[in-house]
Structure 1
Amino acid sequence: MTKRGQGKPAGLSRERIAVAAVDLVDRQGLESFGVRRLASELGVDPMSIYNHIKGKAALLDAVSEAVLAEVSATAAQWPDDWMDIARTMARGYRDMAIRHPRVFPLLATRAQTSAVAFEALERLTTAMRRAGIADQAIADAPLVLFGFLNGYLLATLSTDPGEAGGPATGAAQPAFDPALYPTMAALAPLQAGFGGEPEFERMLATVLAGIAEDAARA
């Protein structure tokens, strides 16, 4: 792609750069991602990107923010009950992760401090306070919920969109030798559909029930 000369207007904005960066990571992964490669994709000099986003760390933050915005895009239609908000948020988070499996590790391994992340948490915690839940239980809830989401999705998502079975299937469950591991072998049929929606919904229900129990106890 031909680059613009230095000093010529590139027509760039932080949003356009972030969208192009997400697309590049979706296609090529994080390992080869960098400012120079992105500049080549956009057909601009790398310094043009630095005029809008100061360095690779800030660029990765912009990528994270762009995909998190997909989760919050329907926030105006979210329910008022805190449990329903948490459930809606979790489902949207998983859907986003399936769309962007190569971007998702950024969300699970870097602190998310963007306004879009904070606004979603504010929505959840405000609803919990409105329900009369104790502050300690409220403070713990996002850590429990996203600890589960990030760990589960990292374990089940495939970062290779070309893998058979789609990005939500992840690695296959191991086959257990019933002579050595009789209990795990007996339970194996109940673990079918690893990473699929029914399993996710079961796990999410367990986590939310635990948060609710903690809230009631507090």
Structure 2
Amino acid sequence: MKEVLTSFDDAVKDIKDGATILVGGFGLVGIPENLIIALKNTGVKDLTVISNNCGVDDWGLGLLLKNKQIKKMVGSYVGENKEFERQVLSGELEVELTPQGTLAEKIRAGGAGIPAFYTPAGVGTPLAEGREVRNFDGKDYLLERGITADFSLVRAAKADTMGNLVFNKTARNFNPMIAAAGKVTIAEVEELVDAGEIDPDEVHTPGIYVQKLIVGEQEKRIERLTTR
């Protein structure tokens, strides 16, 4: 059985200054909302955060950004976050932008124990400057390193007490690969059931990758509301 916590503050208490954390989500979909808020409340700083994007100005990882807790952001998309733009232009925030597919594969590789791989994405662009490029079958490929982190924060729709996770539709996004790439993975879930209640064929992330569980109600904000 996995450790099931009742306090989000307790869930993130081991994350200290200078930690590297992977955070699931795509835009505001599938983000571990309550874990991020709890991390903001700790005041930890100098974090290296790896996630597809950095939330919006007043929600998600944008809360950590606004609180000056992130030293370096690794992602694929800047988005609509004005504070992100301000900190980058002022030199307050170090940013490493990576093609989205490459970022996904770097995280997947890290979780699979693969230290590096070659990809055609980025060849011939500024991303390749000063980095190893090799030719395979007449085509150039750029060397990319796999990603791992001290902690992974993910969100799932359902978990069982063994830590098996099920994600809801597009909220699955980066969460499964991020769950595998952290030394300690903390899963924020909407529903917790007993072991055996999830059909094995429905499991998206096996419990072996998850160390801690916590149940929390999600606000699920919409990043940009459009109507007809």
TM-score, normalised on structure 2? Answer: 0.27
More strand by share: 2
More helix by share: 1
TM-score, normalised on structure 1? Answer: 0.28
Q: Which of structures 1 and 2 has the larger relative contact order (alpha carbons within 8 angstroms, sep 6+)?
A: 2
Pick the structure with greater CA Rg.
1
